Structure formats: C-alpha cells, structure tokens
Structure 1
Amino acid sequence: MVPVQAALFWAFATGATFALSAARQLQYWRGYTSDARASGRLHRRAGSAAASPYLLHTVLFAAVLLAPTGLFLLWYNPSWGTMQVADDHDGVWAGFALLYAGGVTIGAALGFLVAQLLILYGAAYWAFLVSVSAHFLFFGTLLHGWDGSGYRRLLTTNQRDLAAWSRDPVADNVVDFVTSGTFLALLVFAAGVMGTLLLAEVGWLMEGWDAPGADADRKVPRLVAVAIAAAGTQGLPLLGALTASGLVRLTSWPVGLVVFAVIAYLVLIPRRTPVRWLYGLVGLPAGSWEVTVERTEELEAAA
C-alpha cells in the first residue's frame, strides 16, 4: 500500500508494533509453554517462540493485506509505486513483484520476532524503540526521501507532475493528487489495512490489560493509554522524521543527522525523560517473562 522504497520499513515497524501490543500475552505464552520443551519434538515445536498465534496473525496480515495492496498499486501506477523512479511498467523489473511480496511478509515477521525477543527478556522499552526507529525510517523515506523531494514524489502520480511541481502552486499539486485514481485506491485500501491494523493493536492491548495484575500496571484510563501508545509508535517517529528533514535542509546530511541523533538520544535513552514517563503509563510489562508469570501465579494463588 506504500511505495517500494518505504514498504520494508513499514512492514518491519508493523511487525514490531504488533509484538509490542501483545507483549504481555507473548510473555504468558513463553511461560506456560516452557515446561513442554523438555519432552518430544512436537512439544518443543508447540513451545517455540515461532509457534505464537500472534506471530501467525502478523504474517497473515502482511501476506493478505500489505503485500497484495502494495502489488496492486505498483501495477496500477508504477510511477507512484516507485516514487517516480520508473515512469511506466517498462521501467519496473518484474522481480520487484516477488521482492515486494516476499520482503513485506518476511519484514513483518522479522520485526515481530526482534521485538518479541526483547519483550521476553525484560527489555520491552527497547522493543518500543525498535518500532519507533522503523517507523522513523518509514516516515523519513516518504517525507524527505533520498534527495529531499520525498513528499513531492508521494503527492504526485507521474514524473511529469513531479517535474512541474515547482512551477505550479502547492495547492494545485495536492488537489491533482487527491482527485486521482491512485488516491482513490489508497483510500479504499487504507480502510481495510489500517482498520485491521488498529483493531489488532488496540484489541491486543485490551486483551493484555485483562490479564491478572496487568490492569494495575496501567496508570491511566484505557482510552488515554491507547492514545499514548498511538502517539508513541506513530506520532513520535513522524515528528522525528519532520525534525530530521528540517535539520538536513537547514544544514547538510552529515550535520543534520548528527544533530538529530543527539536530540533523539536525549529524548529517548535517559531514564528520566517525558517519553519514558509516558511509556510507563501504558502498562506494558516491565520485567522478563519469568517475572510476569511468577507474579501472575502469586496473584492467582492469593485469589
């Protein structure tokens, strides 16, 4: 559903965000299947991280929704699908279809597995940073691109309109895009893709909060926690991409990226930052899977 240059970043980011949304469930899955690893190949398979139903849903989401919609737009408008690198089908290598479909599916699975590994061993905040970083690359590709014209490439449907961008008023360029068939297709696909994505992420967060003791970790009402989670995984990287693009435009690639890296470090890494404080309000598990399962068993025994 996005140009090929940004597709892998979005797929990886989506997989990581799905794992983060189901963080508590993934810890329970690891804990309650750990005893089955001791005997038999079938038991070992059932208890493996790759057997998680949440991973299966992530792969299906990528294979059934992300990949086909992206392939349709790449075929329907090769110019937009390649961010105006190719003007028509003759300029698109046939292997891109294979790479797009396979890459998006594998990218989502890899994003999920990387985030899941961090979550299981008590580094859920770093799993959050994986999602933020991948979304930053996604938004950065669309907004800035490799030559500073990313948003222009995104809001035009062919190379001719891209070349004429500076000669026409910005409003005219935007109107031309939103009245195009490409934008109509995007709207139709967005309803299905983004709707399913939000249902999964919000639903898994709600499911995790229903676990024993989990609701006590959440410091704000559920609706506010969902808003904070969305702002953290989507809004924060979007703001970061806009900031990085502005710094690069004001200075240069090396200087702008170095300055942005320092800002990102100060905002995200120290233990006492607004981002970490907001993250702590959502109620995601703070410890490893052993800690979460042990605490749950104690609560169930006390009840």
Structure 2
Amino acid sequence: MLQVDVFWVYGIGAMAATAAGRQLAELGKAKASFKEATPFGSKYFALLLLYLSLIFVPEALWLTWNFPHWETMHLVGSLEEIPAWGIVLSAVGDIAVAVLGYWVAYKLLSRGKLYAAHLQWVLGYFLFFFVLTCGWDGRGWERFMYDPTVKGGVPWTPGTHMGPLDFATSRVALTLYAMALPTILPLVVWGYRWLKEGFLLQKLPPEKASARAAAGVGFYFAGVGMALLSAAVVTLLIHFLSSPLGLPLAYALGFLIFLPPVYLLGLKKGRPLHLAFKKYFLTD
C-alpha cells in the first residue's frame, strides 16, 4: 500500500546502514574522519539502490496497476483516477525516503549515537504497521483486508472487510505471497553477510562471526515483530478510546498512554531493548 511504503522503505534504508555499521565506520576512518566521509560512496548504498529500483519499486508499481483500489488504501476506485504524477511521485518518493533512512542512520552512526541509529528502523517499521492496522481513521486493517476484485468490484466502505480465510485466498493476497520471497530474501542475505563482515573486522573467528551474524538477523526479525505488536497495541487503545472520546483525542491519548511505559521499561538505555541491541549489534 502506497501510504505504508514510505515508512517501510525508511526502515529498510536504516537497516542497511546499521547492518553495515562496522564497515562504514572503517571506510570513514580510511578517509580521515567518519564525520566527513560521504555516506553514499559504498557498495552497501549501491546495493540498497539496486534493491529499490529492481525489486521494491517495480512491485509497488505492479500492485498499483493491478489493484489500484487496494494499493491506495481504497482512496481511488480505478487506475484512471490516479494522475500520472502521482505514480511518479510514489516511485521517486520510495527511493528518496529509503535514502533518507540510510542517511539518518549513517549520520547517527558517525556521531557515535549507535543505539539511536538502530531505533530508526524500529521507528520506520512501527509507523509502517501502525498505518497498516490503524491508518488515519482507525480502519487501516479493514482497508487491508478487502480485495474488491473478488467482490464483484464493489468498492470498500467503512466497516467492510473480508474474513481472514477469504482474504488469504484473494488475488491481492496471492500476489503478496508471490512477492514475499524476492522482497524479503535480499534483506536477509545482505543482513547476514554485512553483519558477518563487520564481526570479521572485529577479528572474531569465522564460525563465531557466522553465528553472531545469524543471531543478528534473527534480532532484526524480532525487532520487526516487536514493532508490529506495538502498533497493534496502540491501535487497540485508539479503538477502545474512540467511542467515548472521538478519534482525534483517542489518537493523542492512545500514544500518551503507550509511549511513556514503553520508553521507561524497554527503550531507555540500560533497559531490555538497549541491552539486546548491545549484545547483537554495534551499539553505544
């Protein structure tokens, strides 16, 4: 979906920079100062651009062409309703925001704010899942769970959604299954290889570097799962608060209830998430 892709690619860009954090630091040292080194002159950035241009953006365009209603979260009913500049802006925007995520994470790494660099991809994935589950009107998950191509072209309306089994066999879902491997596999492969390269730079034995890299990839998946769970909790809070308070106040109060304990108990330095990052990644 176009509205969630911008947050997804931000997370992907930040992931790329953090996975190659040790190597980027070494490249910076070779250029006298990490702070003055360019973030774009490396194979890691080149591979990120190749992934976006050859896999991610073409998949988004494919979904827009075949399922314009679903891909736009049902803001339009047909491809003809999307202006040409909107398609171009979406494609360019995905690449630009991914580069932004990479650049922000790189800059934080260069300033020694290693934990903050990793939190960039956690934030990107949290916003990705939040828009997917809640959206701007509390109905993000309903929009996701509706494929009008198997409902006789009947447009989505608020309160309408398909059952899990029905949606799981819909044309949209089958297309997503086909795209899953080419979308996820490159991220897993580069995450493992780049983390392993970094551990080898630390003079770890190859076997230990491989094991640590595999654990690091697993932690990336765990972080994405944590972002999904967090987004689901906030969505539920907003859902229960929206009836008595109205949607705008429910959004504000939902985040006010959720964020302080999450920060104090999980995100703050010395808390479980920070300690886990410190174990598996290059962190402060």
TM-score bracket for the superposition, by shorter chain length: 0.7 to 0.9
Match of 2:109 in 1: 119
**1:63–1:267: structure 2 CA closer, same or farther, 3 Å change rule?**
farther
Match of 1:49 in 2: 39
For the Cα contact (< 8 Å) 1:225–1:281, is it kept in 2?
A: no
Is 1:261 the counterpart of 2:259 in the alignment? yes
Match of 1:9 in 2: 7
Is 1:19 the counterpart of 2:9 in the alignment? no
The 5-angstrom pairing of residues 1-303 of structure 1 reads: 3-34=1-32, 48-158=38-148, 160=154, 162-163=156-157, 166=160, 173-213=163-203, 221-222=211-212, 223-232=214-223, 234-251=224-241, 252-286=250-284
Which amino acid is the alignment partner of residue 210 of structure 1? Answer: L
TM-score by length of 2: 0.86
Per chain length, whose mean CA-contact separation is higher, i.e. which structure has more relative contact order (CA < 8 Å, sep 6+)?
1
For the Cα contact (< 8 Å) 1:11–1:111, is it kept in 2?
A: yes
TM-score by length of 1: 0.81
For residue 192 of structure 1, give the secondary structure of its aligned residue in structure 2.
helix
Q: In 1, Cα distance between the equivalents of 2:204 and 2:135?
A: 41
Q: CA offset at residue 226 of structure 1?
A: 2.9
| Structure 2 gap ranges (5+) | 242-249
| Structure 1 gap ranges (5+) | 38-43, 287-303
CA-based RMSD of the aligned residues comes to 2.7
For residue 163 of structure 2, give the secondary structure of its aligned residue in structure 1.
helix
Q: CA offset at residue 67 of structure 1?
A: 0.7
**1:267–1:55: structure 2 CA closer, same or farther, 3 Å change rule?**
farther
Q: In 2, Cα distance between the equivalents of 1:195 and 1:10?
A: 16
- Worse overlay, 83-92 or 5-14: 83-92
Q: In 1, Cα distance between the equivalents of 2:265 and 2:128?
A: 20
For the Cα contact (< 8 Å) 2:139–2:158, is it kept in 1?
A: no
For residue 34 of structure 1, give the secondary structure of its aligned residue in structure 2.
coil
Percent of residue pairs bearing the same amino acid type: 28
For the Cα contact (< 8 Å) 2:277–2:283, is it kept in 1?
A: no
**Pairs aligned (count):** 270
Q: CA offset at residue 149 of structure 1?
A: 1.2
Which amino acid is the alignment partner of residue 160 of structure 1? Answer: V
Encode CA deviations 1:35-87: one digit per residue, 9 max, x unaligned.
8x9xxxxxx9xx53221221111122112111110011001110111011111
Q: CA offset at residue 156 of structure 1?
A: 0.9
For residue 147 of structure 1, give the secondary structure of its aligned residue in structure 2.
coil
Match of 1:295 in 2: none
Higher alpha-carbon Rg: 1
